[in-house]
Chains A and B, each alone.
Chain A
Amino acid sequence: MIILVEKLARECKIKSQDLITRPIGRSLFEKAMEKIKMTDKGETVILDFENIKVIDSSFIDEFIVRLIEISSTEDFYIKLKDISLMAEINIDSVFHSYSNYKDKRIAAAREELGRNNKYYIGPLTQEESDIIDYLKINHHSSLSELLRFSGIEEIKIMPILQELYSLRVIKKINNEYYSV
């Protein structure tokens, strides 16, 4: 499912290209959840930010962070698309603060390469980053292929894959791993 955030904002009677403040984040979250409830289990929800210039930390906290938090229990995946430079900086800052203070990391997959030269935003390790890049390029992969590519021992790669799956930045279907 693709959610055009600009259109979602218009449905909430917000015409601005800047999405800021907590109340606006809360309104868009409610509207997005109405749509997400209609998706299949395990589906990727692409949040397309085309034409949106600035999203501030309050909006990110109420909209993106809440969607990611609820994605495990509701069984969907979030992927960000067409993120502006400013939005990327602000999302990255919120995700780092969240991860530092909650003792629990948060990250999101993204459609295009960001200024960090990665297909995600958030505080992931180099090993985790390499796996996401590999899956993005190959779309999906078996465990044996990932072991061969990464050179990491099986006993060590399993918790990494489990953590990436828990973070909802990769999918796992029938022992195959997929990019979001």
Chain B
Amino acid sequence: MIKESKDIIILPDRFRDPYTFESVLSMNSSLLESSGTVDMSRIAFIEPYSMISFLLMGRNFLRKRGEKLKLIHIPIHIHQYLNRMDFFSKGIFILTETLPEGMSLKRNPISNRLLEITEIPGKERQGVNVLASVISLFRKRSELILKFWMDESIVDYFVTVLSELCQNIFEHSLDSGFVTMQTYKSGKENIARLVISDSGVGIRGSFEGKKTLNYKTTSQLIELALTTPISSKREFGYGLCQVNSITEKLKGTIFIRSESSSLTVLYNKIEKGKNIFHRNDLPYFEGTQIAISLSA
């Protein structure tokens, strides 16, 4: 972390994937103690997981400090992108610069390889309505979002994944969360990434009452939830298991982070041996953040 004079925090260019973003998450506690001004001038690229996680960092700052993070020196292309993704419309940040007139990215069908950031409410009734509109929008844009993976069943697979993961927010997290999806190019690779994150009670918190479950670390609990139909509220659950099985069918990857742990499952590289990676020594960050990715 680099601190400029007057306590301005300069963010590194580490918004490229869930792994590099850990260095930004490691700044969270310093951010909470800072004056709340963040310099974004070094950021050259932002992918959906990093964007949503940074949004949660901003929301946590607002909740704990009662004031908004001030973002300064945002490169124009980053500003355009975040604006296009409705990042700023959540009322979490203060902007000192506005985009020059005519510089906003147009919302035309060609730029619709994405789902803008949508807040999934923590209450069931509102959550159900928002989820229905997210899925309806996804169906309209799915041919563009999933252009490189298109077959007759993939849209329905993703509707199931969206449904299961968004419901976890209002059923288990005790908080609202955010969903977004985008297809983007990274080098020669096309990546479709669906991100659903919250800063609620986390997976361990959600399963606190289930004393019969056998696990030592949070990443083991995440693996258990992915591979066994366990539920924190009912006798058994299906959601994460179904997401895991669909991701396996699609040869995608799953990244789940909760508090100080993460689990990565790579079904695209399964032939190379080990495909599940546990981490339990990460900087603490509230809630559960999930990225489901396909690459082509």
Q: Are A54 and B153 in contact (CB under 8 A)?
A: no
Q: Are A101 and B236 in contact (CB under 8 A)?
A: yes
Q: Which of A22, A23, A61, A86 contacts B160 (CB 8 A)?
A: A86
Of B128, B156, B241, chain A has the most CB atoms within 10 Å of the CB of B156
Which residues A72-103 have CB closer than 8 A to chain B?
Answer: 84-86, 90, 93-94, 97-98, 100-102
Measured CB to CB, the closest approach of chain B to A59, in angstroms, equals: 9
Number of interface residues of B (CB under 8 A): 26
CB within 8 Å for A16 and B136 given contacts A21-B167, A56-B160: yes
Q: Are B229 and A97 in contact (CB under 8 A)?
A: yes
Tell me if B284 counts as interface (CB < 8 A to partner A).
Answer: no
Cα of A93 to Cα of B239 in the assembled complex, Å? 10
Which residues B19-73 have CB closer than 8 A to chain A?
Answer: none
Residues in B whose Cβ lies below 8 Å from that of A100: 229, 236
Residues in B whose Cβ lies below 8 Å from that of A93: 238, 241-242, 245
Closest residue of chain B to A21, judged by CB? B128
Q: Are A56 and B156 in contact (CB under 8 A)?
A: no
Q: Which of B131, B132, B239 contacts A57 (CB 8 A)?
A: B239
Measured CB to CB, the closest approach of chain A to B129, in angstroms, equals: 10
Tell me if B280 counts as interface (CB < 8 A to partner A).
Answer: no
A133-145 vs B, Cβ < 8 Å mask (1 yes, 0 no): 0000000000000
Which residues B216-258 have CB closer than 8 A to chain A?
Answer: 229, 235-239, 241-242, 245
Tell me if B175 counts as interface (CB < 8 A to partner A).
Answer: no
Residues in B whose Cβ lies below 8 Å from that of A98: 236
Cα of A117 to Cα of B279 in the assembled complex, Å? 42
Q: Are A85 and B238 in contact (CB under 8 A)?
A: no
Cα of A31 to Cα of B111 in the assembled complex, Å? 41
Q: Are A23 and B124 in contact (CB under 8 A)?
A: yes
Which residues B161-185 have CB closer than 8 A to chain A?
Answer: 163-164, 167, 171
Q: Which of B124, B125, B153, B171 contacts A85 (CB 8 A)?
A: B153
Cα of A101 to Cα of B238 in the assembled complex, Å? 11
Q: Are A101 and B235 in contact (CB under 8 A)?
A: yes
Tell me if B81 counts as interface (CB < 8 A to partner A).
Answer: no
Tell me if A124 counts as interface (CB < 8 A to partner B).
Answer: no
Tell me if A64 counts as interface (CB < 8 A to partner B).
Answer: no
Closest residue of chain B to A59, judged by CB? B163
What residues make up the interface of B, taking CB atoms closer than 8 Å to A? 124-125, 128, 131-132, 135-136, 139, 153, 156-157, 159-160, 163-164, 167, 171, 229, 235-239, 241-242, 245
Q: A20-B167, A23-B124 are in contact. List 18 more A-B contacts (CB 8 A).
A: A16-B132, A18-B139, A20-B132, A20-B135, A21-B167, A53-B156, A56-B160, A56-B164, A57-B239, A57-B242, A61-B238, A84-B156, A86-B153, A86-B159, A86-B160, A93-B242, A93-B245, A100-B229
